[in-house]
A and B are shown apart, each in its own frame.
Chain A
Amino acid sequence: MMRSIYLVARRDYLGYVTAWGFWLGLLLTPFFLSLGIIGPALAASQTPERYYVVVDPDGALGPAMDEKTLDLKIDVIEAQIMALGALTGDGRKTAATFETAARESGDLAAALTAAGIDPETSNIEIPDDDFIRVEAPATTIDGLRPWLLGERLLDTPNGERPLFAALIKTDEGIEYWSENVTIGTVKNIAERAAISLARTAVFTAQEVPFSILDDVRAATPEILERKVREDAAQAAEVTAADIAPTVVSVAIAFTLWMLIFSVVNYLLMGTIEERSNKIFDTLLTSVKLPHLLAGKLLAVLAVSLTLMVFWAGGGIGAMTYAGSALPPDMSEMIAAVTAAVLKPGILIPALLSFLLGYLMYGAVFLAIGSLCDTVQEAQTLMSPMLVLLMVPLFMVFIAVSDPTSPVLAVMAWIPVFTPFLLILRAPLEPSLWEVLGQLSLMAVATAAILWAAARIYRAGAVHGAGVNDVLHWFKGFLPGMGKTKAG
């Protein structure tokens, strides 16, 4: 038995991995994935510096905008510190230290150092100066018009540049002039600066001490996130170990989804090839049908695992090579993730879900392929399957924002979604009866689907049943559609 499964799996596997399409996918998928991840950051870093001028007789608006520009950068860096700190539990303290230092010195790199973060080796990125205020070459809109239209260029430290926007303070308000009406960053900074200036003016007029804002800030209690633990003696701070299970379960569920989604073509094309090449009869006199199906599923699983091993190996290699890109606390994060993966409450349901989920969907795709002579025919039957497959992907997004959602709890009992949702809900440590119940239901459904798939496969392979037979079969269940016209 094992021999024939091995031989079928081996042939199919070698058939797939020696095809140029496999290598194309192997190489291009990480490329496009990287492009998707790096692209936005690359686009941001490639944004040209834009220059603006402020015409303000009082001379207060320009410096206030400089201050707000710095505030924005501080906010961006603080968000990065908080994100990294979420894994170690000291993000808030580090961010506060950074903010104080940044406001005192205005030097963001020095402020990071003061907060204990090496700006050279850490993953924290200091935002570029995308919008730079320069001295106005004229004080009226008529005078500035040639610069704003690009007819004349500003003389900047980076060479001659066009003028992006001009803010002119008048008695009626602050006029914002620019040829580009889609990028509103400068306008937003001006609004913040104007609010700040107005607040200062009103406080001064009302003789309210400006320090009152600092007092309010100081009096605001900090929200300290703590995790309730059974052992009260354990530290209650939320650390990487607390977050890792959720991260791991989302990653596994997404990987399973990716795996199933990516193997669709392999399973379909392989079976369509056999049907269109009329190999079934020869195969079925050499190997039992269940062994043939098992070999095929195994081959495609091996192809997927090969892809993943290549990609993971490449990723680790790239990260190791670019060692400076690793955050200093990566080792702690890796340890936490590894511990989460090895946790029996996650590992066992994940493995079982992975296996049963793959078998369940893989068998369906094999059955569909056996009914089709062409890819076009397969697409007819695949459309509802692809829609069905999109549902778990949405569930992944829900789980990221709210793993306790009742929607997830209910849908976890629907066998076709259980493989994903059981994994996603594992960090919540659902009760044993719930896990066993869902696993059992999924196992029964998988067995039923495998049984049905084998019968459909046999119908397609042996009796030449096709897409139209399936459509007729479905029509038989619809009122008025399965009947033959009399006469």
Chain B
Amino acid sequence: MTGDPLVLSGATKTFAGFTAVDDLDFTVPEGSIVGFLGPNGAGKSTSLRMALGIMTPDAGEARLFGEKPGIDALRRVGFLPEERGLYKKMSPVGTIQYFARLKGMSANDARLRAFELLEASGLQDFARARISKLSKGMAQKVQILATLAHEPDLLILDEPFSGLDPVNQQALEDLIRDQHRRGSTIVFSTHVMEHAERLCQSIVMMARGKKVFDGSLEEAFGALGRRVRIGVSGGFDLSTALAGAGYAAAPDPSEGAAGWWHIQLPQGRDAQDALRAALAAGAPISGFAPEEARLRDVFISLAGEADAAMADQPGARSTFAGAAE
């Protein structure tokens, strides 16, 4: 089996008239870490489920390692679903061993691997306890271990940081890096952009079932362009003042940011140039802050404010505050 670990070509999925995923194309190259970004309902999970053969696309196709997603190809894949769950009456060691054996490992190898992983994760004392007796975070760890017990070539993690406290989120980031160093290709979906910023080499962004961006992080930030934030007093109109110098300025809509403007930096100019132009235009400067681009901003610019707001909704899973519950 050769070919890119994961390819979706023109994949479309419709549920009762609602198009959850619309003509999606993307390729996950071998050895990469790809972030699959978008707000809830953007079609991320449906896309991943199509990629894994759990759902059949209404149009287009999915390929794993160059093949249709059958059991042989899936043996090289570790999948952590968004809706997590385990057999509550089984033990962690039994659970990891069971799923590893389903992926083709021998009983003995699977058992040894289960103990090894549990020890490495500090869960050795709970190896034979019932899953129902573990905390939610511990159970989630067990499921993650079960996902990678068979050392998959492709690791697909659907909202893996959901439900984890900050310490465990960091531990999971480390684990993802470890798996990548081992040689595994990794795809993970999230609507918390910070994880993607720290982990990914490339990202796929989705909104309302459609792909809105597919490329490297650098390309994403490049798409946004660089900006600077300048504060002025006395209701000065910076937009009009800078228009003649070739700068586009817009007031900062954030609460408590009255008098602050976002200035888009044209190619070849930097923040200091913009400040000089503002002073030259007679602007009463009250503040100056060069802006570092964030993925969220990229997403806003690509998908629109409404979708970005959905990603930041208090009810949306996996926000930092929600994770610490």
Interface set, chain B 208-240, CB cutoff 8 A to A: none
B contact residues around A276 at 8 Å (CB)? 85
B contact residues around A379 at 8 Å (CB)? none
A contact residues around B146 at 8 Å (CB)? 282
A contact residues around B52 at 8 Å (CB)? 285
Bound CA–CA A4/B77 (angstroms): 16
Binds A, one of B98-106, B119-127, B172-180, B308-316: B98-106
Bound CA–CA A284/B147 (angstroms): 13
Contact A277 B71 (CB under 8 A): no
Q: Is B293 an interface residue when CB atoms closer than 8 A count as contact? A: no
Contact A277 B85 (CB under 8 A): yes
Q: Which B-chain residue is minimally distant from A8 (CB atoms)?
A: B102
Q: Is A455 an interface residue when CB atoms closer than 8 A count as contact? A: no
Contact B89 A285 (CB under 8 A): no
Q: Is B88 an interface residue when CB atoms closer than 8 A count as contact? A: yes
Bound CA–CA A11/B143 (angstroms): 17
Q: Is B289 an interface residue when CB atoms closer than 8 A count as contact? A: no
Contact of A278 among B74, B77, B81 (CB under 8 A): B81
Question: Mask for A276-300, Cβ within 8 A of B = 1, else 0?
Answer: 1111011111111000000000000
Q: Which B-chain residue is minimally distant from A276 (CB atoms)?
A: B85
Contact B83 A281 (CB under 8 A): yes
Contact B98 A11 (CB under 8 A): yes
Contact A282 B81 (CB under 8 A): yes
Interface set, chain A 1-56, CB cutoff 8 A to B: 4, 7-8, 11, 15, 18-19
How many residues of B sit at the interface, in one of the four size bands? 20 to 34
Question: Mask for B88-121, Cβ within 8 A of A = 1, else 0?
Answer: 1110000000110111000000000000000000
Contact of A279 among B49, B77, B87, B103 (CB under 8 A): B87
Bound CA–CA A279/B147 (angstroms): 12
Query: Nearest Cβ in chain A — how far from B79, in angstroms?
Result: 5
Q: Is A273 an interface residue when CB atoms closer than 8 A count as contact? A: yes
Contact of B77 among A8, A19, A273, A285 (CB under 8 A): A285
Known A-B contacts A278-B85, A281-B49; the reply to A287 vs B102 at CB < 8 A is yes
Contact A281 B54 (CB under 8 A): yes
Q: Which B-chain residue is minimally distant from A11 (CB atoms)?
A: B98
Bound CA–CA A284/B102 (angstroms): 10
B contact residues around A7 at 8 Å (CB)? 98, 101-102
Q: Is A462 an interface residue when CB atoms closer than 8 A count as contact? A: yes
Bound CA–CA A465/B15 (angstroms): 12
Bound CA–CA A349/B81 (angstroms): 45
Q: Is B84 an interface residue when CB atoms closer than 8 A count as contact? A: yes
Contact B81 A281 (CB under 8 A): yes
Query: Nearest Cβ in chain A — how far from B260, in angstroms?
Result: 45
Q: Is B55 an interface residue when CB atoms closer than 8 A count as contact? A: yes
Bound CA–CA A19/B130 (angstroms): 12
How many residues of A sit at the interface, in one of the four size bands? 20 to 34
Q: Is B295 an interface residue when CB atoms closer than 8 A count as contact? A: no
Contact B85 A279 (CB under 8 A): yes
Interface set, chain A 89-115, CB cutoff 8 A to B: none
Q: Which B-chain residue is minimally distant from A1 (CB atoms)?
A: B71
Bound CA–CA A4/B99 (angstroms): 10
A contact residues around B265 at 8 Å (CB)? none
Contact A279 B98 (CB under 8 A): no
Contact of A286 among B74, B87, B88, B143 (CB under 8 A): B74
Query: Nearest Cβ in chain A — how far from B196, in angstroms?
Result: 22
Query: Nearest Cβ in chain B — how far from A51, in angstroms?
Result: 60
Query: Nearest Cβ in chain A — how far from B250, in angstroms?
Result: 43
Contact A462 B55 (CB under 8 A): yes
A contact residues around B102 at 8 Å (CB)? 4, 7-8, 283, 286-287
Q: Is B300 an interface residue when CB atoms closer than 8 A count as contact? A: no
Contact of A462 among B54, B84, B90, B103 (CB under 8 A): B54
Contact of B87 among A277, A281, A284, A288 (CB under 8 A): A277
Q: Which B-chain residue is minimally distant from A287 (CB atoms)?
A: B102
Known A-B contacts A4-B102, A7-B102; the reply to A284 vs B89 at CB < 8 A is no
Contact A286 B81 (CB under 8 A): no
Contact B87 A282 (CB under 8 A): no
Contact B101 A15 (CB under 8 A): no
Known A-B contacts A278-B84, A281-B79, A462-B55; the reply to A287 vs B71 at CB < 8 A is yes
A contact residues around B101 at 8 Å (CB)? 7
Query: Nearest Cβ in chain A — how far from B152, in angstroms?
Result: 10
Bound CA–CA A18/B146 (angstroms): 22
Contact of B89 among A19, A286, A287, A288 (CB under 8 A): A19
B contact residues around A282 at 8 Å (CB)? 79, 81, 85, 99, 143, 146-147
Contact of B83 among A4, A8, A278, A286 (CB under 8 A): A278
B contact residues around A287 at 8 Å (CB)? 71, 102
Query: Nearest Cβ in chain A — how far from B46, in angstroms?
Result: 11
Q: Which A-chain residue is minimally distant from B79 (CB atoms)?
A: A285
Bound CA–CA A277/B87 (angstroms): 7
Q: Which B-chain residue is minimally distant from A286 (CB atoms)?
A: B102
Q: Is B86 an interface residue when CB atoms closer than 8 A count as contact? A: yes
Known A-B contacts A7-B98, A7-B102, A11-B98; the reply to A285 vs B86 at CB < 8 A is no
Q: Closest 7 CB pairs between A and B? A: A278-B85, A277-B85, A281-B81, A286-B102, A278-B83, A285-B79, A279-B85
User: Can you list 21 A-B contacts with CB-CB less than 8 angstroms, sorted by A residue number?
Assistant: A8-B102, A11-B90, A15-B87, A18-B89, A19-B89, A276-B85, A277-B86, A277-B88, A279-B86, A281-B79, A281-B81, A282-B79, A282-B81, A282-B85, A282-B99, A282-B143, A283-B102, A285-B79, A286-B99, A286-B102, A462-B49
Beyond A11-B87, A273-B87, A279-B87, 18 extra complex contacts between A and B, CB < 8 Å = A4-B102, A7-B98, A7-B101, A15-B89, A274-B87, A276-B85, A277-B88, A278-B81, A278-B84, A281-B54, A282-B81, A282-B85, A282-B147, A285-B54, A285-B77, A286-B99, A287-B102, A462-B55
